[in-house]
Structure 1
Amino acid sequence: MTRRRFAFNRETIQLDDSERASIPGSFIKLTDGYTWYEQAGPINGKPVIFINGFSVPHYLWEHTFQPLADAGFRTLRFDHFGRGWSDRPDVVYGPDLFDRQIVDLLQALHIETPVNLVGSSMGGLVASIFANRHPDLVDRLALIDPAGMMNLPVYLQSLLLTPILGELILALSGHRTLPSGMAGDLLYPERFPQYVSDYLPQMQIEGFRRAILSTLRTRILFNSRSVYEQLGQADIPTLLLWGRFDQTIPLTIGEEVHKLLPQANWRVIEDAGHVPHYERPELVNEMLIEFIK
């Protein structure tokens, strides 16, 4: 394990072979680097692939991954490049990278297609992009508060359009602002303190801030209406879930997405924020199991 120490640099861990050997789970080498993943459930069960959001890694599915495996599905969760325990390649973190990672992962793990995709926030958008590009590889699609239709906040303009300033802002304050922003995903953050504490370890790995900034600068989160317009023309069974009190991507945007996806089974999850599957798994898991079965 190599640790580097520079002023204002909190990314002190380089993800190398010795570091990976100490991390639970599995790693596999793909086109753009090593990807962390975990599988569960019967080998011959229907494949269900969970896709993370903008920056929260695989623990996003902590209350969903194993329950669906116990229901008889072959579940797979993994970390996007730049997040969690996956590599941080020096590339553009946009649709092509995220799509290629899924294609490579399915092929490398010899997962039979079509598969069922379950995506949260940016993961819902990535799942939709994948379905548009590879409709023959997708059986069913479950989107949970998917991103892509938000307006670009004014305060992000400096991060997106001024490279040096963006790096400086994250270097000086990202260790505070990113985790605190994650707490806003929850309607009752005091009930789930581990949601934020589990976020912190990935921030120590070299390349995390670079990946976050690159993703923001591609504007994938803000200019993707056409993705849902295209998906709305497809013949893919879709489940669209939204937390009633989502402050990250409000329900009004969910209603816009629903209009673009007339084929979707639209369900609003009461008493939940941006990640209803994390706060209300007893409801969401039942909906997912019924939909995929």
Structure 2
Amino acid sequence: MKILKNLLITLLALIFFAVAALVILYFIKNKETKEITHEFRKNTGGSYEALNMGQTHYELDGQDTGKVVILINGFSVPYYIWDGTFEYLVDHGFRVLRYDLYGRGFSDRPDVLYNKKLYLDQIKEMIEHLHLQKPVSLVGVSFGGTLATDFTCDYPEMVNKVVLIDPGYTRPKPKLPQFIPEIKETLTADDRANSQMDDFIYPELHPDWVKQYLPQMEYKGFRRSLISTNYNYRYNGRESNTILNSKHKPVLLIWGKEDKTVPFTYSDSIRSVLKTQFLPVDDAAHLPHLEKPEIVNPAIVTFLKK
């Protein structure tokens, strides 16, 4: 009996020290130590618009009379993901908006469920608050393609054309309790930042990509926004693209053939239910508009002007 008692005490002591060590490591590894303030925003580029769920960081440029194009970035990278494409569209006469999703970049990180309604409301409110001429065209990359698809399905009267670049295809709900990825994201934050390089087939050509990504990780709410999205934004690519097809919108589908993030084979699944123009891009991975801008950007302009 005494032996069992000693074993129990030892086990409890080990558990206590393990939990204590984990808590200490959590606070050491936690990058989110800052708040996004009004004073901080004075020193950032771009503009800010107060929406129902908080401030949205954005850039709007181009002729007032130009056709409106909204660029929607992916799951975690801010609007700099559109560098090059944004300027190219402006130079070709379009009125172009790019913005940071809630929780990303320098937009607010509201403590709410990051679900479809939150993201679609953000797009809708930006169109209304900035008095953008409707219908608009949507260009979405990765998760931004998911948002462009869902927004067009819900608000077809507000959309003219859709461009999907390596769009997200499926988002099943994780099975683990939500506190587990919270701990993991904290302890392996550097891994998330470094993994952004996996979106390129030639990462060495984008040496500052991780450096650009890191600043947003210092502000409270970034990690929560990603985890909440994973748990609360349900998406079935086949179902949503079938609905999009019923809206009879012109769609251009662009896909890097070497994409490992959202495999190229999903393009066949989408085209089996959605009528599209299709541009497969050789020698490019998840971000073909950055790796092959000389192919992708002119194709987007041609499609939007047609």
| TM-score between both structures, scaled by the size of structure 1 | 0.92
Shift of 1:224: 4.0
Q: Which has the higher helix share?
A: 2
Q: Which residue of 2 aligns with 1:164?
A: 179
CA deviation digits over 1:154-210, x for unaligned, max 9? xx94xx52122221111111x222112211111111111222221111111110000
2:270 and 2:262 mapped to 1: Cα distance? 11
CA deviation digits over 1:101-127, x for unaligned, max 9? 000001000001000110000001100
1:277 and 1:192 mapped to 2: Cα distance? 13
| Residues 1-293 of structure 1: pairs in structure 2 closer than 5 A | 7-149=28-170, 157=174, 161-173=176-188, 175-220=189-234, 223-262=236-275, 264-293=276-305
For the aligned residue pairs, the C-alpha RMSD in angstroms reads 1.6
Confirm or deny: 8 A CA contact 1:52 1:119 kept in the other structure: yes
Q: Which amino acid aligns with 2:252?
A: L
Where in structure 2 are there 5+ consecutive unaligned residues?
A: 1-26
1:164 and 1:214 mapped to 2: Cα distance? 11
CA deviation digits over 1:28-76, x for unaligned, max 9? 1001000000011111111010001100110110010001100110111
Q: Secondary structure at the match of 1:251?
A: coil
Give me the identity figure in percent: 40
Confirm or deny: 8 A CA contact 2:49 2:56 kept in the other structure: yes
Shift of 1:259: 1.2
Shift of 1:20: 1.2
1:76 and 1:219 mapped to 2: Cα distance? 24
Q: Secondary structure at the match of 1:48?
A: strand
1:59 and 1:283 mapped to 2: Cα distance? 19
More displaced stretch, 26-35 vs 191-200? 191-200
Shift of 1:233: 1.6
Aligned length: 280
1:161 and 1:29 mapped to 2: Cα distance? 35
Shift of 1:23: 1.0
Confirm or deny: 8 A CA contact 1:161 1:217 kept in the other structure: no
Q: Secondary structure at the match of 1:228?
A: helix
Q: Secondary structure at the match of 2:145?
A: helix
2:169 and 2:34 mapped to 1: Cα distance? 31
Q: Secondary structure at the match of 1:278?
A: helix
Confirm or deny: 8 A CA contact 2:56 2:100 kept in the other structure: yes
1:66 and 1:108 mapped to 2: Cα distance? 23
Which structure has the bigger radius of gyration? 2
Q: Secondary structure at the match of 1:187?
A: coil
Q: Which amino acid aligns with 2:124?
A: V
Where in structure 1 are there 5+ consecutive unaligned residues?
A: 1-5
Shift of 1:91: 0.9
Q: Which amino acid aligns with 1:37?
A: Y
2:41 and 2:116 mapped to 1: Cα distance? 26
| TM-score between both structures, scaled by the size of structure 2 | 0.88
